[in-house]
Structure 1
Amino acid sequence: MKQKLLLPALIAAIAFTSCNGDGASSNGSTDTTVSTTTTNSTDTGSTSTGPGTSNAGATTTTGTPLNEADQAFVRKAAMGGTMEVQAGQVAQQNGQHERVKAFASMMVNDHTNANNELKQLATSRGLMLTDSVDAKMQQHMTAMQKMQGKAFDKHYMDMMVNDHSKTIADFEKAASGANDPDLKAWAAKMLPALKMHKDSATAINKAIK
């Protein structure tokens, strides 16, 4: 009689041990996945739900990491965009001609939006961007802050014509040759606005001579 009672209990104990073993294996696998995702992604925060979405945490990697050429373009474009915003803010304060100030306002708005889009794209590929410029650009910004009136207007508009010519060349190259399809599409999308900026800068530059 005792043997009959012990047999079901023994089977239940074996089954219980087997289930716990599977659970431990599953949890171990899940923990490894989380660890790998955290290490390879940019953050441990919430996941982005698309362009324009703002989350309290950072954005997890959702695409293939950018190759070296694409990363170089992204960093250069981000720094250039930051410079455009900072220079535009200075121009709004130090500029004299109303067309210069209006152009500067457009630069701040357009490049702030472009910078935000680029930052989100880069973050989704595991590349973090900063809102700072290099030492050379910072020295230029400091020098511009000391300029006033017509001298500032001329310097700023000359700068805008030259910078946008170089930027357009970089974006045309990325729009045709970037490896990442989303980055390629973003560069192509930005080109019409950049060309419009250059045309406006050229016209204003001639008008204030």
Structure 2
Amino acid sequence: MKQFTLLFTILVAGMSVLQSCKKDRDPDFLMSNQEFVTQASSSHMLEIDAGNLAANDATSDTVKRYGTFLAQSHTAAFDELETLATQKGLTILSEMNDLDQNNYDVLDNSNAEQFDRNFLYLMLLSHQDTYSLYYNASRPNGVPDPQLRAWAAQKLESIEEHFDEAQELYGASSTQ
């Protein structure tokens, strides 16, 4: 239970940090293009690395498959984001931000008995956070660049599907 509380606390703290960055952006937009790319690239790296970890360390075959699926799906999205960002002269992170790295580290240090539930819980929180980021970026006042806005809007459905699957698996894991 401590790990769940820690993961939740870390995600809430990260959301507060994002709000404090507003002073450096165009007041007509919720975030700058670079802020979106930075946050999105870190989020994808977390989900890729956590998915790969689950593919190797999960005890349930279903969770292993979900981890593999997430790693593949987020790798494709990360590659698309990297291509778009490069075209726009924006920088993709080479490492996760501190918040995402801390969440990954908590998961990586989970004992075998708790790993599957911790992974699924992290994916619930992470996909909620990612959906919020992409939803905000896709709004007419989300990010200044119309291509980034359109790309973010295009990804919302798959992020929601990832969340729904994590929720279904997490609920099933509590009945076992």
RMSD: 1.6
Task: Tell me if the contact between 2:51 and 2:70 (Cα under 8 Å) persists in the aligned partners.
Answer: yes
The structure whose Rg is larger is 1
CA distance in 1, matches of 2:102, 2:171: 27
Query: 1:161: which partner in 2?
Result: 124
Query: 2:115: which partner in 1?
Result: 152
Question: What secondary structure sits across from 2:147 in the alignment?
Answer: helix
Question: What secondary structure sits across from 1:196 in the alignment?
Answer: helix
* Equivalences for residues 46-195 of structure 1 within 5 A: 69-176=32-139, 177-195=142-160
The structure richer in helix per residue is 2
Describe the superposition over 1:41-75 as per-residue Cα deviations: whole angstroms up to 9, x where unpaired.
xxxxxxxxxxxxxxxxxxxxxxxxxx961211111
Task: Flag the structure with more relative contact order, 1 or 2, with Cα contacts below 8 A and sequence separation at least 6.
Answer: 2
Runs ≥4 in structure 1, deviation > 4 angstroms? none
CA distance in 2, matches of 1:143, 1:162: 14
Structure 1 unmatched runs, 5+: 1-66
Aligned residues: 143
Structure 2 unmatched runs, 5+: 1-28
Amino acid at match of 1:114: A
Amino acid at match of 1:79: S
Describe the superposition over 1:20-61 as per-residue Cα deviations: whole angstroms up to 9, x where unpaired.
xxxxxxxxxxxxxxxxxxxxxxxxxxxxxxxxxxxxxxxxxx
CA distance in 1, matches of 2:123, 2:84: 26
CA distance in 2, matches of 1:174, 1:143: 28
Query: Normalising by the residue count of structure 1, what TM-score does the alignment of the two structures yield?
Result: 0.64
For the structure 1 residues 143 and 172, does the alpha-carbon distance in structure 2 shift closer, same or farther, using more than 3 Å as the test?
closer
